[in-house]
A and B are shown apart, each in its own frame.
Chain A
Amino acid sequence: ETGVTQTPRHLVMGMTNKKSLKCEQHLGHNAMYWYKQSAKKPLELMFVYSLEERVENNSVPSRFSPECPNSSHLFLHLHTLQPEDSALYLCASSLRSQFNEKLFFGSGTQLSVL
């Protein structure tokens, strides 16, 4: 295990639902990331938190709302998603001294939007 745990592993939701993805890291890291992985496309950075402050929002639609209550936990709140949002959502963490370099990824949440 990488020390980064994501729940749930799989999620099916309707377009009108509200759900949340959870990420927890046990590595003592102080930077956390959300990435989106779609088939045939590069991993896309969505959000970055450093010391619990959001430092990057990569032009992500407002139907995705991140939350970082402390350096060990990261959430991605979802509402009124579209079918094209179906993808694997990956959480990652790193030390701030290795910002955007040595990332440790969780196993992801496979999201299907119906």
Chain B
Amino acid sequence: QQQVKQSPQSLIVQKGGISIINCAYENTAFDYFPWYQQFPGKGPALLIAIRPDVSEKKEGRFTISFNKSAKQFSLHIMDSQPGDSATYFCAATLGTDGLTFGKGTHLIIQP
């Protein structure tokens, strides 16, 4: 069964710190790995995504690190801010199949 395992389930980080969320996948055929951010009362919104031909992608304070051999990828949020407090979902897809999501990480940034 295709799965994406996400950890931790919840995370508390001080303002200005680095938030790190990890995901592991099983299906080596996955070719697209997005991260979605969801605020209360809203639907998920695409934050950043990566393909397996690169090991890192950075957009502003958000970075995806990708380790193909370990079948793992992670989201790093630098200089974390209270406005980053949200639930984050990793996902993976083959493109023709639907997105397989992780269970989510509830991130709280303390001022």
Contact = CB atoms under 8 A, between A and B. Distances in A.
Interface residues of A, number: 23
Interface in B76-104: 89, 93-104
Given A56-B98, A58-B98, A100-B96, A40 B41 contact: no
A106 B43 contact: yes
Interface string B33-53: 010000001111110010000
Interface of B is mostly: loop
A2 B45 contact: yes
Contacts of B4: 42
Contacts of B102: 42
22 contacts: A2-B43, A4-B43, A42-B103, A43-B44, A43-B89, A43-B99, A45-B98, A48-B98, A56-B98, A90-B43, A92-B43, A100-B32, A101-B49, A101-B93, A101-B95, A102-B46, A103-B44, A103-B46, A103-B99, A107-B41, A107-B43, A108-B43
